[in-house]
Amino acid sequence: MAVIAVTGSVFLAHELGRLNGGYSYLDQRRERDELTAVIAERDLTIEVLRRQVAILETSQEIDQETYTLVEQNLDELQAQIQAQEEELAFYRGIISPEDGVAGLRVQSLEMRPTDAEQGYLLHLVLVQAITHDRRVSGTVSFDITGSIDGEPVQLNLDEVVAEDARGAIAYAFRYFQDLQRQLVLPEGFEPDEVLMLIRPREPNGQALEQSFEWSAIAG
């Protein structure tokens, strides 16, 4: 059984990249309609994948070789469904978040281990929910609290990144933006919490402070 090919997300990522860059041939209504249409496509794709899973799970009278192929297809389909659902949740969070609150928000923050000793990749995704008639811009700064030999320590991000990456992280986008920094923690440092401060450049923009338990964001 052929596994369905998914192309809508490629188009969507391409189009949103152009919109975030300030280039668009669509007016605001058409931009929103197009994003909504891709979300509807994701819903349909998930339903088709689920039907394929149901057919494979109820298949009978198959030999061992066919059964092995069915198992492989099931694994592939389940992985596609999970990826589609995660992508769908992300884009719905931009168009119509569950809490119905418009404006700038943190979609996700992760600290992904790297090959370097005490090394991590800081991966932050910011989104602007519901209203997309203007670009938002500003800066993001971080502090990491923890301890060394039982003594409390608070590190500014500038203390754990390369010299050419120091300073607050700038953002500017209409829909969403993916921000990253490579960092290396001091030897013996045990992180507990990440403190984040977002400072919008808009005249009426309010600073956003959030804290994240290290154990919840470190992969």
Three-state secondary structure string covering 166-200? CCCEEEEECCEEEEEEEEECCCCEEEEEEEEEEEE
Residues 124, 109 contacting (CB under 8 angstroms): yes
Stretch 155-184: mean pLDDT, rounded? 93
Dig out the tokens for 9 from the structure.
């997300």
Decide if pLDDT at 160 tops 50.
Answer: yes
The Cα 167–Cα 76 span in angstroms is 43
Whether the predicted model's global pTM rises above the 0.85 cut? no
Please report the pLDDT score of residue 6 as a whole number. Answer: 42
pLDDT at 46: 72
| Structure-model confidence comparison of residues 90 and 161, the more confident one | 161
Domain ranges of the chain: 8-95, 103-217
What integer pLDDT is reported at residue 214 of this predicted model?
98
Q: What is the mean pLDDT of residues 40-45?
A: 75
Is a pLDDT exceeding 60 seen at residue 28? no
With a cut of 80, say whether residue 37 has pLDDT above it: no
Residue 75 token pair: 């694994």
Q: What is the mean pLDDT of the chain?
A: 79
Q: Name which of 56, 59, 47 is nearest 76 in CA terms.
A: 56
Most confident segment among 2-6, 13-17, 31-35, 84-88: 84-88
CATH number of 103-217: 2.60.40.2420
| Residue-wise pLDDT tens digits, 6-16 | 444 444 454 45
**DSSP conformational letter for 218:** B
One-letter amino acid identity for 47?
E
